[in-house]
Structure 1
Amino acid sequence: MTTDSTAAWTAAFRSAVVSPYETIDLFELRGFAGHTLRQIIRLDGGGTALRIRLSNRYGKEPLHIGGARLARRTEGSGIDSGTDTPVRFADAEDFTIPVGEEIVSDPIDGPVTAGDELAVTLWLPDDTGLSTYSAVPLRTGWAVPGNALTTPTLDGAEGLEELATRHYITGADVLAPADTRIAVAFGDSWFEGTGTTHDTDHRFPDLLNQRLRDAGSNGWVVNQGISANRLLTDEIGEHALARLERDALTVPGVTHVLIHFGLNDLGIPGQEAYPEPAPIPTAADLIAGFTALADRIHAAGLTATATTIGPYKDTIYDGYSTPEGIAVAREVNDWIRGADSPFDSYADFAAAVADPADPDRIHDDHDSGDGLHVNDAGAKALADSVDLATLTI
């Protein structure tokens, strides 16, 4: 491929992954044997070439991939066959990912732009065991028996399965101008997008990207949210302090990190113990965790923006919302808004979607229906709460 000394590999899509071997079991766990997977990624930014990242981080056996293809998506599981191209890794079309590792493809030359929808098709000839996966990608994927790597559409195929989870794909990078600014949305379901409409790209990072494009920004946001993820405790996914290096600080091109954590630290213990009470972190515990995040982000030379903990009173999940947890969230939010916060700036998520008559709960107009997650309108309110100037400093 051609090279450009003014360009650098830059994250253009991310999909944070979790282990299928966790104790808390909220999502469908899958393995594959003799299947073709076709999964869609939507680029947050563009460049002159592209490379794909695949992961066997949590697999217990080497992952044999008999072939990988990349094409522009048309509709449903359909692809534009004229754009279909093999994805090679170390110049091989048939390759194996060792246990615990992630690999990056050889570059695929040719321009791509923000909003491009690309189909990544994988042929998995052998038993994979339970897969490394993304819990709530909000993008339909497909699995069919047999080798259908180059099949123009899988719609209507015998044995077709729709997948609500994403498997093995952790990202795509593009060759972009070296001064491109990348913000990583590093957090929980309020970033991953739970509660917003499937297959519509109405998550908070998507809508913030739209604002950035409308403003003529040369950068974008990539999404590293994990639903049910916590600041201080593992599951779902490694806790924020454990995954910060991999999922934020070393993302190619990163200049800014956006943070949203705390909800699950306060809610999951009670939900898991219900109907019994459960101990939860104190405000001091969460503040210490947030401070450690900010310090490590700054030590990496990056800008850190916090978001206040979203409201969740009256959520439908038994045991999740408690008066004690609500009080801690209020105290932490006051700290995030105050002069003692170590963050460079903050976006007031809580205020953006709260019911003015009862600020501890989500306003009905912004509620997805479960009292814990925002809908499309709520995600827009979150995106609108971010001062774009904080992403360009």
Structure 2
Amino acid sequence: MSTQDWIAGFRTPLVNPAEEIRLAESREFAGETLRQVVRLAGGGSRLRVRLSNRYAATELVIGAARVAPRENGDAIVSADEHVLRFGGATAARIPAGGEIVSDPVDLAVTAGTDIVLSLYFPEPTGPAAFSQLPGESGWVVAGDHTGAGALPGAEETTSRYFLTGVDVFTAAATPVLVAFGDSWFEGVGSTHGANRRSVDVLNARLTRGWAVNQGISGSRLLSDQIGERGLTRFDRDVLAVPGVAAVWVNFGINDLILAGAATAAELIAGYTELARRSHAAGLPIYVNTIGPFAGAIYPGLTVADGLPVRTEVNAWLRDSPLFDAVFDVAAAVEDPARPGFIRPDYDSGDGMHLNDAGARAMAETATIPAFTETPTPATV
């Protein structure tokens, strides 16, 4: 029996470029190289890359693909660059709605390694499935420059396209925590490119395994509008993650402030269903209370109507026996002098998202035993 296996070292969920509500605009590529940076949550002796043509109406053609450690900015460590192959070929065609996994690459990586994925698209891609606000830059340049050491003059983008994950070959017993939720996981409000999201902060504290980030900014538990609803994407974005051993949940704000806002009863039913499905799969589930949002500066939100519902749902969460633990993020980041508002020193400036200090405070509420304790050796 092998003691090693493929485990998720990085994950990023994608949204439909034709979403009803868009926080960023997708784009098409044609005759261009796209270079993207990935911070790995965990390492291994080899890696493989996952690409998706989800939501597309046309075939996606990958003309060339390479992976390498990052030097800085858009520059790679050329001496350790590797060509990606797909079924032995250096090019690939992904059908509309399809997914592909690269062949393994003999590139040893560790937790915290930044790797750079370069993709060349020789034919028009159509609007790309993408992560809207991943908190990391990418670069686009005309022509096939997948093997270039750097891309001077390239256009910078702050979204991530086609990429859904990186797997690493490591100890089969490595546990993966899936952070499943919204922008408070994806990291809106934290410093761009600095990896100071709440999930990053938690990873620095874990002594076993690691956490991968399946947060979508604007995501709702109960409704589609910005990405598929949490209850719909749970199987793909949690249960299908290789190595998943537990799930950490943060939803609620978007369910309460966007059009068609949920009632307390509806949100409670949604959380209850998440707990049922997690436990049915043998996974512990850890849930955050819903953070404050009274200071949200964006127009058209149902903030006043959502605040009392938040209070009711949080009271239920704090007392609920359905979860393996409830982390009181709301209490940790709320302004004691102004209930419903984020503390000024934790507010990113928009009244609805946390800055770096707030993300750290959020992460510090989380204690997850299986990831911080040394397992007891099995007896024979």
- The 1-side partners of 2:371 and 2:83 are apart by 36
Alpha carbons 2:208, 2:370 under 8 Å: kept: no
Which among 327, 339, 346 is matched to residue 359 of structure 1? Answer: 339
Any idea what SS the aligned residue of 1:22 has?
coil
Any idea what SS the aligned residue of 2:214 has?
strand
* 2:279 aligned residue: 298
Any idea what SS the aligned residue of 2:180 has?
strand
TM-score (norm 1): 0.93
1:208-244 CA-partner distances (Å, limit 9, x unpaired): 00111xxxx1210000000000010002000000000
Alpha carbons 2:258, 2:302 under 8 Å: kept: no
Matched, 1:195 2:189: yes
Say what the alpha-carbon RMSD is for the aligned residues: 1.2
Alpha carbons 2:34, 2:139 under 8 Å: kept: yes
* 2:162 aligned residue: 168
Alpha carbons 1:143, 1:161 under 8 Å: kept: yes
Using the TM superposition, name which of 118-127 and 379-388 deviates more. Answer: 379-388
1:161-199 CA-partner distances (Å, limit 9, x unpaired): 101100011100111111111100000000000000101
- The 1-side partners of 2:121 and 2:304 are apart by 49
Any idea what SS the aligned residue of 1:360 has?
coil
Alpha carbons 2:293, 2:303 under 8 Å: kept: no
* 2:376 aligned residue: none
Q: Aligned AA for 2:336?
A: P
CA 1:307–1:391 in 2, change beyond 3 Å: closer, same or farther?
Answer: farther
* 1:140 aligned residue: 137
Using the TM superposition, name which of 246-255 and 107-116 deviates more. Answer: 107-116
Using the TM superposition, give the Cα deviation of residue 308 of structure 1 relative to its aligned residue in structure 2, in angstroms.
Answer: 0.5
Counterparts of residues 194-213 of structure 1 (less than 5 Å): 194-212=188-206
* 1:149 aligned residue: 146
Q: Aligned AA for 2:133?
A: V
- The 1-side partners of 2:16 and 2:152 are apart by 29
Using the TM superposition, give the Cα deviation of residue 321 of structure 1 relative to its aligned residue in structure 2, in angstroms.
Answer: 4.7
Q: Aligned AA for 2:96?
A: V
Q: Aligned AA for 1:45?
A: G
Q: How many residues align?
A: 373
Alpha carbons 2:47, 2:167 under 8 Å: kept: yes
Any idea what SS the aligned residue of 1:154 has?
coil
Using the TM superposition, give the Cα deviation of residue 347 of structure 1 relative to its aligned residue in structure 2, in angstroms.
Answer: 1.0
Using the TM superposition, give the Cα deviation of residue 390 of structure 1 relative to its aligned residue in structure 2, in angstroms.
Answer: 6.1
1:114-160 CA-partner distances (Å, limit 9, x unpaired): 0111010000010001001111111110000111111110023xxx2
Which among 205, 210, 218 is matched to residue 220 of structure 1? Answer: 210
Counterparts of residues 307-346 of structure 1 (less than 5 Å): 307-338=288-319, 340-346=320-326
Q: Aligned AA for 2:37?
A: I
Q: Aligned AA for 1:108?
A: V
Any idea what SS the aligned residue of 2:139 has?
strand
- The 1-side partners of 2:202 and 2:326 are apart by 15
* 1:106 aligned residue: 103
Which among 194, 208, 223 is matched to residue 233 of structure 1? Answer: 223
* 1:281 aligned residue: 262
Any idea what SS the aligned residue of 2:247 has?
strand
Any idea what SS the aligned residue of 1:138 has?
coil
- The 2-side partners of 1:333 and 1:197 are apart by 28
* 2:6 aligned residue: 9
* 2:56 aligned residue: 59
Using the TM superposition, give the Cα deviation of residue 353 of structure 1 relative to its aligned residue in structure 2, in angstroms.
Answer: 0.6
Using the TM superposition, give the Cα deviation of residue 106 of structure 1 relative to its aligned residue in structure 2, in angstroms.
Answer: 0.8
Alpha carbons 2:26, 2:129 under 8 Å: kept: no
Alpha carbons 1:187, 1:224 under 8 Å: kept: yes
Alpha carbons 1:63, 1:128 under 8 Å: kept: yes
- The 1-side partners of 2:40 and 2:371 are apart by 19
Any idea what SS the aligned residue of 1:71 has?
strand
CA 1:328–1:16 in 2, change beyond 3 Å: closer, same or farther?
Answer: same
* 1:377 aligned residue: 357
Using the TM superposition, name which of 227-236 and 341-350 deviates more. Answer: 341-350
Q: Aligned AA for 2:186?
A: E
* 1:276 aligned residue: none
Q: Report the identity percentage.
A: 50
- The 1-side partners of 2:287 and 2:313 are apart by 11
Matched, 1:266 2:256: yes
Alpha carbons 1:136, 1:192 under 8 Å: kept: yes
- The 2-side partners of 1:306 and 1:244 are apart by 14
Using the TM superposition, give the Cα deviation of residue 392 of structure 1 relative to its aligned residue in structure 2, in angstroms.
Answer: 5.3
Deviation beyond 6 Å, 4+ runs, structure 1: none
* 1:130 aligned residue: 127
Alpha carbons 2:210, 2:371 under 8 Å: kept: no
Alpha carbons 1:76, 1:155 under 8 Å: kept: no
Which among 249, 254, 257 is matched to residue 244 of structure 2? Answer: 254
Alpha carbons 2:70, 2:114 under 8 Å: kept: yes
Using the TM superposition, name which of 90-99 and 186-195 deviates more. Answer: 90-99
Alpha carbons 2:208, 2:372 under 8 Å: kept: no
Q: Aligned AA for 1:256?
A: A
1:59-102 CA-partner distances (Å, limit 9, x unpaired): 11010000100011101110111111111111111110111111
- The 1-side partners of 2:107 and 2:161 are apart by 25
Using the TM superposition, name which of 72-81 and 367-376 deviates more. Answer: 72-81
Q: Aligned AA for 1:306?
A: V
